[in-house]
Amino acid sequence: MSTQPLQRSPIHMAIGAALLLTVALAQAQSGFTVNTLTGAFYPNDQSERLDNDNKAYGNLPRFVLSAYLAGIIVDNSRPGYVQRSAVWPVSTAATVAAANRFSSAAGMSTHAVSDNGVWQGLYDYNSSGPKRANGTTITAAATVSGKGRPLDINNQGYMVGYVYQEGREIGHHWPTAQGVPLDCGGCFSNALPLAVNNQGVVAGWGSYRDTPDSAVYNTPVLWRNGAVTWRGNSAQFGTNAWGVAINDAGTLVVNSHDRAVIYTVSAAGTVSQLPVQAGRAVARDINAAGVVVGKANDRAALWINGQQFDLAAYLASKGVSQANTWQWLDIYDINDKGSMLVHYRLPTDAANTVRKARLTAKP
């Protein structure tokens, strides 16, 4: 398939017209409230997510005897510990503790949260398939076979993720309660969705060949209604590139792992490379204002209007007292208010220590 421009729908055009105003608002933040998130499951993962009300959703470690007897090891090599859905409320306190999201009998862990905070994509270690929650009401999300995990969910409850089948992860989407494999449009081996926006556009990656005898490459892919609408190629993005995030304006964020750079692709199909001041760059998320977050040269970074900012310097310019004393490692989520979830390390911490914090944007 040749690379085609992303089709620009009327809703994309309307959102695009407001984008400059949204970016201006994002840059006009007066500062941030810093909350450390206590009790988070497995410190160096990125399972927490922010909704647009600044609540953080994720998981706490929970000991389960049946898991212990089965020898399940999921938390820092401790047998019997599983993830349990939790939420960190909005607070101005320096340290915020999580509350359990569901009943103690539920074996649920949170892996996806909608922007409006209404929907969650859940994994249940007690059953074979993923589940979906509307508020605290949990319903099954069926699969044909295999154990599945959600990876993202939008404001309409449309969920994407994968199901283990035949020893590999098969990309699925859940437009209804029944999961359906995503058509990868003639891919060589597999395709996997990683994000979905509120217009139902799904972003991810797939493995392809240009000819039957050419080398296999991984490239960013977009789907709508379960079918491929666009994919990149190795000349544009390198031989191992993934679409990792997409906002409601249709701006796609691509990590090129072999080139160690970040690209954005507009809804009209314009490809741009984000500048990187030093080292490798990895993107994690993009918000409605087009602010991209992630890390560069193993330091937390963000890109505003295509310009890279080191998070420490950015926070210092906003008067955040911890800016010059904490080591800011990564930004792995940003909401439309500009609030972020980050990994950090204190000066006295061991080199492998990872802590988590929420940076709540002040208007």
**Mean pLDDT confidence for 276-304:** 95
- Residue 122, helix vs strand vs coil: strand
For 102-114, the DSSP string reads S-TT--EEEEEE-
Q: What does DSSP say about strands 81-88 and 99-100: parallel, antiparallel, or unpaired?
A: antiparallel
pLDDT for 295 equals: 97
Backbone angles phi, psi at 74, to 5 degrees: -130, -10
Q: How far apart are CA 164 and CA 249, in angstroms?
A: 32
With a cut of 50, say whether residue 167 has pLDDT above it: yes
Q: What domains does the chain contain, in order, with CATH numbers?
A: 10-31+43-279 (2.120.10)
> Under DSSP, is residue 285 helix (H, G, I), strand (E, B) or coil?
strand
Length of the chain: 363
* Burial of 142 per CB tally in 10 Å (0-12, 13-18, 19+): middle
pLDDT digits (tens, 9 = 90+) for 56-93: 999 998 877 766 766 666 655 667 778 899 999 999 99
Which tens digits make up the pLDDT trace of 205-240? 999 998 888 999 999 999 999 999 999 999 999 999
pLDDT at 145: 67
Among 96-110, 230-244, 348-362, the range scoring the smallest mean pLDDT is 96-110
Say yes or no to pLDDT of 13 above 50: no
Count Cβ neighbours within 10 Å for each residue of 171-201 and write b for 16 or more, e otherwise. bbbbeeeebebbebbebbeebbbbbbbbbeb
pLDDT digits over 172-181, tens only? 999 988 889 9
Of 191, 183, 123, 195, the C-alpha closest to 154 is: 195
